Amino acid sequence: DVKVTQSSRYLVKRTGEKVFLECVQDMDHENMFWYRQDPGLGLRLIYFSYDVKMKEKGDIPEGYSVSREKKERFSLILESASTNQTSMYLCASALVGYQGGELFFGEGSRLTVL
């Protein structure tokens, strides 16, 4: 079974702190994603990566950056956390070329910024 593991389920940070959210997948998927989930808004794409060191901005990249130094690991970075970044963050991976590519999700990281 594909496993996508997010490093922290719950985090509480202070405004201005730097925050790292890490995600690891074990199925050699090329594509990895970071989504933000807010009530009534569904999932909004922050960034995705289609290869090591490659990234593309999603719909809401402002205030976030990402890093993919190894194929299996995709990190989301909040350089200076703000209260409006309090949210649930979901990591996902998908296989390139898989017919109707299915997304595999991690359990999510709930971030609270005080």
Partner 1 sequence: AQTVTQSQPEMSVQEAETVTLSCTYDTSENNYYLFWYKQPPSRQMILVIRQEAYKQQNATENRFSVNFQKAAKSFSLKISDSQLGDTAMYFCAFTPDNYGQNFVFGPGTRLSVLP
Q: Would you count residue 31 as binding partner 1 (CB under 8 A)?
A: yes
Q: Would you count residue 109 as binding partner 1 (CB under 8 A)?
A: no
3-state secondary structure of 112: strand
Q: Would you count residue 53 as binding partner 1 (CB under 8 A)?
A: no
Tokens 């960034």 correspond to what residue? 47
Q: In the complex, what is the shortest distance from the CB of residue 86 to partner 1, in angstroms, rounded to a whole number?
A: 17
Residue-by-residue DSSP string for 64-102: -EEEEEETTEEEEEESS--GGG-EEEEEEEE-TT-TT--
Q: In the complex, what is the shortest distance from the CB of residue 111 to partner 1, in angstroms, rounded to a whole number?
A: 15
Q: Which of 53, 62, 69, 100 binds partner 1 (CB under 8 A)?
A: 100
